[in-house]
Chains A and B, each alone.
Chain A
Amino acid sequence: MAPAAARTETATETPLLSVNNIEVVYDDVILVLRGVSLDVPTGRIVTLLGPNGAGKSTTLKAISGLLGTENGRVTRGSITFRGEEIANRPPEEIVRRGIFQVMEGRRIIEDMTVIENLRLGAFTRRDGGAAIRADIEQVFHYFPRLKERTGLAGYLSGGEQQMLAIGRAMMARPRMILLDEPSMGLSPLLVKETFAIIETLCAETGITMLLVEQNARMALKIAQFGYIMESGKIVLDGSRDDLADNEDVKEFYLGGDRERKSFKNLKSYKRRKRWL
């Protein structure tokens, strides 16, 4: 047992995914990421937080290769997954390597059923129908409310569509899921439910996750580590507790604390409006 444990220990030391100082340009001229670096260790949930337009989705697309579909490119730096360079590779290759992106806004196939959407998630798999059927059952185990929905996926509620999007990602049996703003447009209760499922799912299946969120409070509840991004740069990183205790993070991302109302803090709010 001991050597196995030691191996796991070293495995967490070299991160599963490592983004090193990447620069991303859209349409050959629009510079969006200006030197972003981040690491995601095996089996962890890492969150990437930041305001609108910071470049969070762009970072995920750079990793998954979907940047190419929007005429974007990684022009500097490297992205390594399991030690191999994957920057600017086509998305189908990256899915096969084990990274699956759940895009912002869920993006399920609306004119297909739940089952058909799930089967599509398994597109790159070569193992037969029985294994895929078993995995569909596993998705239903985590998201029982999907099982009752037999109509077209377009008629699912927003929360159910998000669950389907995550379930579809699981069907690919990825090593890593890039999850973009799962809380978007969901009621607080549903956000709570969805995040709880994500947490158990990652713990039980060992899937590594890079979670992009605007809802920092929820994200920091399930992530072990976090990065904060603004205007195309990482401005802060730290463990869940470091970030949750950080005054600036509290002020800008967690919000809602009592002292915020006082005049003194309002002034400091203005002073520290930007990280850079």
Chain B
Amino acid sequence: MISSLLLQLILNGLIVGALYGVVAMCFVLIYKSTQVVNFAQGEFLLIGAWTCWWLVTSLELPFPAAFLLTFLFMMVFGIVLQMVVLRPLIGEPVISVIMVTIGLSIFFQAVVKAIFGAWAQPFPEVFPVKSVDVFGLPVQPAYLMSLVVSVVIMVAFAWFFKYSRMGLAMRATAFDQQVAQSLGISVKGVFALAWAISAMVSALAGVVVGMVNGVSSALSFFGIKVFPAVIVGGLDSIVGAIVGGLIIGLLENLAEYADSQFLHLGNLYSVAPFYVLVIILMIKPYGLFGTKRIERV
């Protein structure tokens, strides 16, 4: 009964959804620990992907080295961005900070366009084979790599927040900054770390998407898809971000299926997530996993 097209789309949905989940996690990480709604999340993907592309094509570095350098560059980029742009805004009204991140988003898009041009550039082939077989379906190796990378990142996040000293410190800071300080945690350090991790991991996602679709400003649109994902999951829930990402990924692809097979509306792929967003928010205003604080009676 289930056509191979449908299967293919479900698999796509899971793979892309996992990536959405990863970027959504990065967004939630910044929101939770610094209370900043980062509208420039998509540009982290963009900058990361272009950096890696440039290292591979212009400097002709081997891919793993370029990947690692991109990672380091984005870590520094995240820290500097936090220190120079966002730290002075601590204590300013939420709306001002949002305007600044929207401004950053536009600024980075323009800068990247000025440097690398407006056209999509393909990544040089990294993998020796064009496609591998998964349960009889042909899958691009970059897609497989993307899934592996997503899962590894998710496990790493789970470990980090549950067991590592800095992870606990970040959670404590998210819960109550004054208490965190009373424990000897440097809140400035936590903020910088949140931006560093977020930028690094988003860039990773950017490189992976760039390898599949080519590197272009469409990557920041990938970042926009993260909003339905985080809002579905609840703005402050890491698990919610992953589930939200998977839901959005699957939904897009199922919408594509319904559209191409039955409805023939054309653009359902892009708008379906936003319909679902509205419906979920009507039923659960805190998102599926958003928390209200514990209230002991």
Contacts and interface: CB of A to CB of B under 8 A. Distances in A.
Contact of A123 (B177, B185, B291, B294): B185
Interface in A64-98: 64, 66, 69-70, 90-92, 95-96
A92 B179 contact: no
Given A92-B181, A111-B291, A123-B185, 19 more contacts: A64-B182, A91-B181, A91-B182, A91-B184, A101-B182, A103-B182, A107-B176, A107-B178, A107-B179, A111-B171, A111-B294, A116-B168, A120-B169, A120-B183, A120-B185, A123-B183, A124-B184, A152-B294, A155-B296
B182 A120 contact: no
B289 to A, nearest CB: 13
Interface string A115-143: 01001110110000000000000000000
A112 interface: yes
Contacts of B175: 109-112
A17 interface: no
B130 interface: no
Contacts of A124: 183-184
Interface residues of B, number: 20
Interface of A: 64, 66, 69-70, 90-92, 95-96, 100-101, 103, 107, 109-112, 116, 119-121, 123-124, 152, 154-155, 168, 172
Contacts of B57: none
B182 A123 contact: no
B176 A155 contact: no
Given A92-B184, A123-B185, A66 B178 contact: yes
Nearest to A121: B183
Nearest to A112: B171
Contacts of B168: 112, 116, 119-120, 123
B270 interface: no
Interface in B240-297: 291, 293-294, 296
Nearest to B177: A69
A172 B294 contact: no
B184 A66 contact: no
Contacts of B172: 109, 112, 120
Interface of B: 165, 168-169, 171-172, 175-179, 181-186, 291, 293-294, 296
A188 B4 CA distance: 71
A66 B186 CA distance: 12
A197 B215 CA distance: 63
Contacts of A91: 181-182, 184
A103 B183 CA distance: 11
B41 to A, nearest CB: 24
Contact of B182 (A107, A112, A119, A152): A107
Contacts of B171: 109, 111-112
A116 to B, nearest CB: 6
B5 to A, nearest CB: 44
Nearest to B169: A123
Contacts of A172: 183-184
A172 B184 CA distance: 9
Contacts of B186: 90, 92
Contacts of A70: 178
A64 B182 CA distance: 8
A123 B176 contact: no
A107 B176 CA distance: 9
A183 to B, nearest CB: 19
A122 to B, nearest CB: 8
Contacts of A64: 182
A225 B178 CA distance: 30
